[in-house]
Structure 1
Amino acid sequence: MTRCIIITGAGRGIGRATAQRFAISGDHLVLMDRKFDNDVADLDRTARAAGGSVIAQTGDITVAQDVAALISTALETHGRIDVLVNNAGILLSRETTQTTMDEWNRVIAVNLTGTWACIHAALPTMLTQKSGRIINVSSELGLIGFPTYAAYCASKGGVIAMTKAIAKEVAQHGVLVNSVAPGPIETHMLKYDTIEFNDETREQLPIKRFGQPDEIAAVIEFLAGPGGTYMVGQIVSPNGGAAI
């Protein structure tokens, strides 16, 4: 059966790499991002060649109408939701005393509340189906913390705790919820929105390099596929040894 897979934050980086992997598998993809940096026509061609399809729509996971539209598109087009990949997120690197309440609220709204909103919207369908996979992209910083990243760490730590709670709630109904907690991955966000992208940080990693988006996409693909059938509430952290 060709699966219907929803991916948020699919415009670039990990989300885009994940979409590419599922397109190759011939799945039906419903993608959302605030903007798409690259044309999705190539993804659609790849998916269609394998028996799938791609729908991309712009939207913001903090906007209830956008989340509702995303779920509606999947159900109206494919009649089911097999996998939800909650990848959309933002980063803030700022000393705690310099972080404004608006900045704090925005990070929590996108990374934590937005993730919850997507789960909340998709879960009823999965429960009715008695099947589904939910994969939340968190961060290794949600496990270990990092100076000047309090808002980000709090939001991703919240995603990790939420993953465990919902996993315990719905596994008995056939819905498996897990999280991928990447370490430093060579994406636009790491390069331009963080102080971590430098030679010193890279050399401190046991593997001596930053990760690539497809290395995270591979873990997401695993959790969404046959290998993930006994994974419940797990936090899988491909991080190059940043957190051991």
Structure 2
Amino acid sequence: MSLLDGRRALVTGGGRGIGEAIARRLAAEGAHVTIVSRTLDVAQQVADEIGGVAVGVDIADLDAAHEAVTAAGPLDVLVNNAGFDDPGWFTDTTPERWRSVVDVNLLGMFACTKAALPAMQQARYGRILNIGSEAGRIGSSGNAVYAATKGGIIAFTKSIARENARFGITANTIAVGPIETPLMDKVRAKGELGLKMVAAMERGTLLGRLGEPEEVAAVVTFLASEQAGYVTGENLGVSGGMGIGSA
């Protein structure tokens, strides 16, 4: 028997990178997976391959996000993975840039979680997994708004865990470090500067390398399962030891 046989799961931002790896792993463990993504055709390809459902929605549109989660049916597992990043020095950050990141990273998570909770409370079972970042714990030079939202995710998750423990619902944050996703290819494409940036990320971990999306997915899958029933309110780093000092 697989870890998630018959469970209904929804993954936001599940068409690429970490979200795709999570969607594939949950499906491999027996879950019925709905993928929510702004880019429907990309999500549809993944959904077709895993026997899931794809929905094209920008979760920054709160009404549309709420409707998409509700339409997916009573969920056992919600993975708030979708995120947005618009780096820049804080002194150059406009209110519009700040809001654009907050709208996806916090408001989108708010809408999806609010839509999923009533059915979980009624069933007295649920797993809410929020994909955060080590930036939420240690900050980020040149990306204050992103770090602020990821710090907000940690506090939000702990609050949801406190409010819903009596319903048998757990909530946890996965704080990822630098992961080998298509975003890293874009960084490398910047030439020598990009390569130096990636090398610096690798040196920032105790293991001296980038993580793989599947390594994040493995942790998410465990936390989504019944085996993790005594784990809640945690902020678990999947980051190669990033942020705790040099080896």
Q: Please, what TM-score do these two structures have when normalized by structure 1?
A: 0.90
Q: How many angstroms does 1:124 deviate by?
A: 0.8
Shift in alpha-carbon separation, 1:45–1:37, aligned structure 2, 3 A: closer
Q: How many angstroms does 1:65 deviate by?
A: 2.9
Matching residue within 136, 140, 150 for 2:144: 150
- Tell me the SS of whatever aligns to 2:152: helix
Say whether residues 1:181 and 2:175 are aligned partners: yes
Report Cα offsets for 1:134-190 as digits up to 9, x if no partner: 000010100000111100000000010000011001011111111101011111234
Check conservation: 1:178, 1:234, Cα contact below 8 A. Answer: yes
Shift in alpha-carbon separation, 1:87–1:216, aligned structure 2, 3 A: same
Check conservation: 2:43, 2:55, Cα contact below 8 A. Answer: no
User: Aligned partners of 1:184, 1:139: CA distance in 2, in Å?
Assistant: 9
Question: Which residue number corresponds to residue 154 of structure 2?
Answer: 160
Partner AA of 1:149 in structure 2: N
Check conservation: 2:204, 2:243, Cα contact below 8 A. Answer: no
Check conservation: 2:178, 2:201, Cα contact below 8 A. Answer: no
- Tell me the SS of whatever aligns to 2:207: coil
- Tell me the SS of whatever aligns to 1:236: strand
Q: How many angstroms does 1:204 deviate by?
A: 3.6
Say whether residues 1:13 and 2:14 are aligned partners: no
Check conservation: 2:11, 2:78, Cα contact below 8 A. Answer: yes
Q: How many angstroms does 1:226 deviate by?
A: 2.7
Q: How many angstroms does 1:24 deviate by?
A: 1.1
Q: How many angstroms does 1:243 deviate by?
A: 1.8
Shift in alpha-carbon separation, 1:59–1:217, aligned structure 2, 3 A: same
User: Aligned partners of 1:42, 1:166: CA distance in 2, in Å?
Assistant: 30
- For the aligned residue pairs, the C-alpha RMSD in angstroms reads 1.9
Identity %: 39
Q: How many angstroms does 1:36 deviate by?
A: 4.7
Identify unmatched segments of 5+ residues in structure 2: 189-193
Q: How many angstroms does 1:232 deviate by?
A: 1.1
1:89-128 to structure 2, matched below 5 A, reads 89-128=83-122
Say whether residues 1:64 and 2:68 are aligned partners: no
Matching residue within 10, 22, 43 for 2:26: 22
Report Cα offsets for 1:22-66 as digits up to 9, x if no partner: 1212211111010156464565454xxxxxx41001101111232
Report Cα offsets for 1:8-27 as digits up to 9, x if no partner: 00010110000110121221
User: Aligned partners of 1:22, 1:124: CA distance in 2, in Å?
Assistant: 22
Partner AA of 2:219 in structure 1: V
- Tell me the SS of whatever aligns to 2:54: strand
Q: How many angstroms does 1:105 deviate by?
A: 0.7
User: Aligned partners of 1:212, 1:146: CA distance in 2, in Å?
Assistant: 21
Check conservation: 2:15, 2:46, Cα contact below 8 A. Answer: no
Partner AA of 2:240 in structure 1: G
